Amino acid sequence: MKAFWTESMGGAGPAPGVDGGPARRWRNGGRLSLLAVAVVAGACTSVQTTQPGAVGVERSQLMSVSRAEVDKASAQAYDKMLAEAQKQGKLNRDAALTARVRSISSRLIAQSGVFRADAPGWKWEVNVFQTDQVNAFCMAGGKIGVYSGLVAKLKLTDDELAAVIGHEIAHALREHVREQVSQRQATQLGMSVLGALTGSQAVTQLGNQVAQVTFGLPKSRQAETEADRIGVELAARAGYDPRAAVSLWQKMGSQGGSRPPEFLSTHPDSATRQQDLTQMAAVVMPLYEQARARR
């Protein structure tokens, strides 16, 4: 709030006792802050981003930023990543691995319509970044990135790789980044609204928030559970063994040591996670068997 006062009230303002002093500035700043919070709260919309599927994810979400804005910011950040990786010679350097990742992703994406009808028509992109990091992501709007270190260090099977990518796709389907950005804006006293009122660079601010949420901040346990469950079902429907999600997280945990891999640092774990994955895998096993029979 101090920065807002200084910027909006024109410096230190009058001394105490002269024209209200700090008390008047507090009242004015406080009113605008409360107004910002009220505007953000009023602008929130309850959204059902996905259908429940066999795993039964049905939670509605409160959003204060539009999907179009988040998708645009994500696409811009993704394009920047691609350009930097290309410049460094680290984009899709292993043709065989790139083909493998894209093939698995394509099968998972083909099943995304089960959860939301518009998803198969998104502008999906799938690329592999040559790095030792153990990580993967799917940005809003379907921008997928897999780090070569994830596959190499964990020696992932196709089923396990499908579990990773399916989990990340699920975050995009559920619009968890958009949800988390909305929550941050609400808890930061409506800074996006204050930015609009004072003429600051709201677009840049949103882009920074999207990037930070996507790559730097842990998801909530609720969001992680949803991504686990939807990812398991996507894998099963695509013909990948859903039980591989359990062995995947076991491999992830074994890589921890004194410092967990980056993938786990932004994906909070719990004692019940593997138990939940095992239960969900059992739920979707009939879908897996059906998919195998078709293939």
pLDDT in tens, 200-232: 455 556 556 565 555 555 567 889 999 999 999
165: CB partners within 8 A, 6+ apart: 101, 104, 105, 108, 136, 138, 144, 146
Crossing angle of helices 158-173 and 221-237, rounded to 10°: 120
pLDDT confidence of residue 293 = 96
DSSP for 13-79 reads -SPTTSTTHHHHHHHHHHHHHHHHHHHHHHH-EEE--S--TTTT----EEESS-HHHHHHHHHHHHH
Q: What's the pLDDT band for 26 if we cut at 50, 70, 90? A: very low
- Answer whether residue 251 shows pLDDT above 70: yes
- Answer whether residue 13 shows pLDDT above 80: no
Asked if 168 is an active-site residue, the reply is yes
Q: Which of 160, 168, 179, 233 is catalytic?
A: 168
- Answer whether residue 117 shows pLDDT above 90: yes
- Answer whether residue 190 shows pLDDT above 60: no
**Alpha carbon distance 27, 140 (integer Å):** 39
51-62 b/e (C-beta count within 10 Å ≥ 16 → b): eebbbebeeebe
pLDDT confidence of residue 93 = 97
pLDDT confidence of residue 208 = 61
Domain locations in the chain?
60-188+199-294
| Higher-confidence position of 247 and 210 | 247
- Answer whether residue 5 shows pLDDT above 50: no
- Give the residue carrying structure tokens 């592999």: 128
pLDDT confidence of residue 201 = 53
pLDDT in tens, 98-116: 999 999 999 999 999 999 9
Cβ–Cβ under 8 Å, residues 129 and 147: yes
Cβ–Cβ under 8 Å, residues 290 and 233: no
Mean pLDDT score of the chain = 80
pLDDT confidence of residue 12 = 39
pLDDT confidence of residue 25 = 46
pLDDT confidence of residue 272 = 76
pLDDT confidence of residue 209 = 59
pLDDT in tens, 50-97: 999 999 999 999 998 999 999 999 999 999 999 999 999 999 999 999
